[in-house]
Structure 1
Amino acid sequence: MIHLDFSKQIEIDKIPSKESWQKDIIDFLKDWYAQSATITTKTSGSTGIPKNIELSKKAMIQSAKMTGTFLHLQVKDRALLCMPSSYIAGKMMLVRAIVWKLDLYCIKPVSHPLENITMEFTFSAMTPMQVENSLDKLSFIKKLIIGGAQLSSQLQSKLKTRPTDIYESFGMTETISHIALKKVSGNNTKPFFKLMPNTKMRIDKRGCLCILTPFLKEEIITNDLVSIISDNEFEWIGRIDHVINSGGIKIFPEQVEKQLKSVINSDFIISSLEDPLLGNKVVLIIAGKKDLELERQILDFNYANRYEKPKEIIYINSFARTPTGKIIRKM
C-alpha cells in the first residue's frame, strides 16, 4: 500500500517503485507536476484498439472539482485508489486527491480490492467486478462511484440496501472521466443519469448523445443511444455500434442482456452472425459449459420483443476484458 497525503508536499522519489502499478502512479505524478499543459492517456479499448489521447490538465482539474463538489469532498478526506493509474479512472482519482488535498491510500488494482482493508474511507472508485467481489466490506466506504462497465440489474439490486452512497458513472476517456452520475443505493433510485453541473446535452439524428462540458472546448459526439428525460437527465439505451439489424428489425444487445441477466449468472453477451434470410441473426454467447436447463429458460423467456430471442446459443471458455473490466465484444 502507498500512502499519499496530498495536504502536504509529496516526495515522489520516496514512493515504492518495485511493481508496475506503483511505477504507473509515479509516472503520472511526474507528468502532472511537469511543465506540460497536457497528460497523455489511453482509451479503454472496449470498442476498438486502445489509442493515446492528450487531455488538458486544466480540464482534468475542473472535472475533479465538479466531482468533489457533487460528492461534498473535504480536505483530508481519506480516499482509496484501487484502479489502474495507466487509465483515466485511476488518473482522475489521483487528480481529485491533488485538487481536494485528500489523504489517499493506493493499493494494487485487483478484483478483490477490499479483501485486506481494515480502515474506513470517505471516497473510492471501482469497476462493477470489484464491487461484486467487495459486497461484504462496502460499508468501509462512505461514497463510491462505479465505472468502466455497465452495472447488471442483479448487482444494482444488491446495492440498493447498502449504507454506502453509491453512484454508477457515465463517461469516457474523451470526456475526462464521468459527465453524469446515477444513484444506485437507497430507496429513491431512478434509472436515469444526472448530468454534472453546467454540462449540456442533445441527441443527434442517430439518437446518440452529444455532450458539451464547461471544461472542453468542443462538443463530444458519442455512439451512445439515449432517451432524454429532462434538461439534465437521460436514460442509457445502448451503443449504436452494437445494434443488430435482423430482418429489418433493430435489436439493441444491451437491452436484451439487461433482461437475460435475471436468468444467466455467468458472463454473456448478445451478438450476431450472418444469416442468408435475416441478414444477421441474434446469437447468445455464454462463458461456460453447455447447460440444457439454462437453454430451456432462455428459449421460454418472456422477451420484451419476440425478435430479441436468440436464434443460436454459443459457449466459450471466457471473454477477453479491458483493464477496467469491460467485456471486449468483438470476437
Structure 2
Amino acid sequence: MDVRAVGVDGSPEAVTRLAAALGSALDGSGPAVLPVRALPGDEPALPEPVARAVARGTVPDGLAVVVATSGSTGQPKHVALTGDALRASAAATRERLGGPGAWLLTLPAEHVAGVQVVLRALLAGTECVVQDVRDGFRPEGLSRATGRLPHGSRRYTSIVPTQLARVLDHGSAPLHALAGYDAVLVGGGALDPGLRARAEESGIRVVATYGMSETCGGCVYDGVPLDGVTATIEPGSGRVVLGGPVVAAGYLGAPEATAEAFTPGGFRTSDLGQTAPDGSLTVLGRADDVINTGGEKVAPAAVERALLSVPDVRGACVVGIPDDQWGQIVAALVVTDGPDPVDAVLRDTVRDACGRAAVPRVLHRADGIPERGIGKPDRSAVAALLTDLR
C-alpha cells in the first residue's frame, strides 16, 4: 500500500484537494493520505519513517490516513489510522452529537482534529465549510465562514481553548455565530472551567473533548467515552488507557514505540487519570509533567486549576524547574485579565486546594502562554523562561 503526502496551507482550496484525496483513500481507490503543512505549489516528500515503512511493506492493511504527532516528547511519530477506525470515530461522534450536520473547519488540516472535521462531513455526506486560516485564526473570519453554512441543517465545529477565548473576548458577530452551533467541540488542551462557564453563559453549546492522534482525535466527550470506546486506568502507573475501534494501528516505521504504546487493552496514553463508578473519566495531567519537589509529587494540572479559580486569572501553566536543594521546585506562569491578584492570594489558593508542597516558589506574569501545535502549552518553553527569570 502506498502513502501520499498532501500539502495544506490553511486555504479552502487546499482543504478541497485534501478532501478529494481522503475520499479516495477511504474507498480504496487511492493511496493513504498524510496531510503536511506546505506552501502552494510545493510537492511535500514523505517523512523518512513513513517512506521506509512503505518501502518495506510494513504499512497496515486498510490504512487511510497518517497523522504526525506534535513531537512534544521528542521526534514526531506518524500515526497509522485505518479507514475502519476513522469510520467508527465519525459514526460515534455523529451519534453522540444527535445526528449528521454541516461542519465548519477552523483548525489546521494537518492535525488530527482538522482532518476529522473534513472526514466527518465527508462520511456523513454533508458540507464542510472552511475558514481561511492562512494568516491565523480571526474571530471575524469565523462569523463570515458560518454564514456560508447551509440553512436548516445542524451545525458543528471544532476549536481549541485559545480560539474560544478569542471569540468570547471579541464578542459581537463572531460570538453570535458560535452560539448558533448545535455543538462546539473544544479540545487540543485542557478546558479551563471558567472559560467554559463564560462560553455557556453566552449561549455556546460546549463539548469538551479528550483524545489524541492515536485515537482518531477526541473519543471522550465531557468525560464520557464515545460508544464503543473504553477508558481504563493502568494499575501501578495510573495512566489512562483508551481502547475500542477508534484506536490506531500503530506508528509507521517505529515498531518499538508501537509495542510500548499499543497493547491488547488499547493505547497507553501519557496522561494520568481516574475513573468514576459510572465510567466517566477525569484526566489529571501528563505523567511526565509530574513535579517531584523534595520527595513530594505535585500534579501541575491541579495547581493550574487552583490558579484559574482566582478571579481575573485567565491562563496558567505550571512546570517544575531544577533546584539544588529540592531537586525541582514548582513554578507558574500566569496570565491575568484586569487587576492583578497579589501573589499571596495566588499562593494561598494553591495551598488550600493542593497542599503546601504545590505552592509555586516561582510566580511570574505574562501576556500569554507559549504554545505549540494547536493550542497546547509549550511546557519546555515555559520552563526555560521561568528558569531564566528565577
TM exceeds 0.5? yes
Check the 8 A contact 1:274/1:280 in 2, yes or no: yes
How far does residue 73 in structure 1 lie from its aligned partner after superposition? 2.0
Alignment-derived partner of residue 258 in structure 1: 305
| Aligned match for 1:322, one of 353, 372, 388 | 372
Output the amino acid matched with 1:155.
L
Alignment-derived partner of residue 48 in structure 2: none
Alignment-derived partner of residue 7 in structure 1: none
How far does residue 299 in structure 1 lie from its aligned partner after superposition? 3.3
How far does residue 266 in structure 1 lie from its aligned partner after superposition? 4.9
The superposition leaves residues 139-175 of structure 1 with CA deviations (integer Å, 9 ceiling, x where unpaired) of 2212111111111121122134354432100100011
Aligned length: 302
More helix by share: 2
The superposition leaves residues 283-305 of structure 1 with CA deviations (integer Å, 9 ceiling, x where unpaired) of 112468xx985323223435321
2:106 paired with 1:82: yes
Structure 2 regions of 5+ residues with no counterpart? 1-6, 32-62, 169-174, 250-261, 382-390
Deviation larger for 39-48 or 239-248: 39-48
Output the amino acid matched with 1:59.
A
2:244 paired with 1:213: yes
Distance 1:124 1:236 in 2: 23
| Aligned match for 1:41, one of 42, 61, 67 | 67
Partner SS, residue 284 of structure 1: strand
2:159 paired with 1:126: yes
How far does residue 29 in structure 1 lie from its aligned partner after superposition? 2.3
2:267 paired with 1:243: no
Output the amino acid matched with 2:221.
L
Check the 8 A contact 2:8/2:110 in 1, yes or no: no
What pairs with 1:246-325 in structure 2 (closer than 5 Å)?
246-263=293-310, 265-286=313-334, 294-301=342-349, 302-304=351-353, 305-315=355-365, 318-325=368-375
How far does residue 221 in structure 1 lie from its aligned partner after superposition? 0.3
The superposition leaves residues 54-103 of structure 1 with CA deviations (integer Å, 9 ceiling, x where unpaired) of 221221111111101111223xx332111111111110011100111112
| Aligned match for 1:232, one of 279, 293, 301 | 279
2:51 paired with 1:25: no
Partner SS, residue 371 of structure 2: coil
Q: CA RMSD in A?
A: 2.7
Distance 2:15 2:278 in 1: 38
Alignment-derived partner of residue 86 in structure 2: 60
Check the 8 A contact 1:181/1:194 in 2, yes or no: yes
Q: Percent identity?
A: 22
Distance 2:9 2:233 in 1: 44
What pairs with 1:107-186 in structure 2 (closer than 5 Å)?
107-109=131-133, 110-112=137-139, 113-116=141-144, 117-118=146-147, 122-135=155-168, 136-137=175-176, 138-182=178-222
Check the 8 A contact 2:8/2:18 in 1, yes or no: no
**Structure 2 vs 1, CA of residues 160 and 19 (structure 1 numbering), >3 Å: closer, same or farther?**
closer
Check the 8 A contact 2:10/2:109 in 1, yes or no: no
Output the amino acid matched with 1:141.
Y
How far does residue 230 in structure 1 lie from its aligned partner after superposition? 2.7
Check the 8 A contact 1:123/1:141 in 2, yes or no: yes
The superposition leaves residues 192-233 of structure 1 with CA deviations (integer Å, 9 ceiling, x where unpaired) of x00111222321121111111124365100111111103531
Distance 1:58 1:300 in 2: 50
TM-score scaled by structure 1?
0.82
Partner SS, residue 230 of structure 1: coil
Distance 1:254 1:95 in 2: 32
The superposition leaves residues 261-296 of structure 1 with CA deviations (integer Å, 9 ceiling, x where unpaired) of 1335354311122222211111112468xx985323
**Structure 2 vs 1, CA of residues 215 and 296 (structure 1 numbering), >3 Å: closer, same or farther?**
closer
Partner SS, residue 142 of structure 2: coil
Distance 1:297 1:58 in 2: 51
Distance 2:12 2:200 in 1: 34
Distance 1:316 1:307 in 2: 24
TM-score scaled by structure 2?
0.70
Output the amino acid matched with 1:123.
Y
Distance 2:378 2:323 in 1: 23
Distance 1:242 1:303 in 2: 21
Output the amino acid matched with 1:211.
L
How far does residue 30 in structure 1 lie from its aligned partner after superposition? 4.0
**Structure 2 vs 1, CA of residues 286 and 229 (structure 1 numbering), >3 Å: closer, same or farther?**
same
Structure 1 regions of 5+ residues with no counterpart? 1-16, 183-192
**Structure 2 vs 1, CA of residues 125 and 238 (structure 1 numbering), >3 Å: closer, same or farther?**
same
Distance 1:225 1:251 in 2: 12
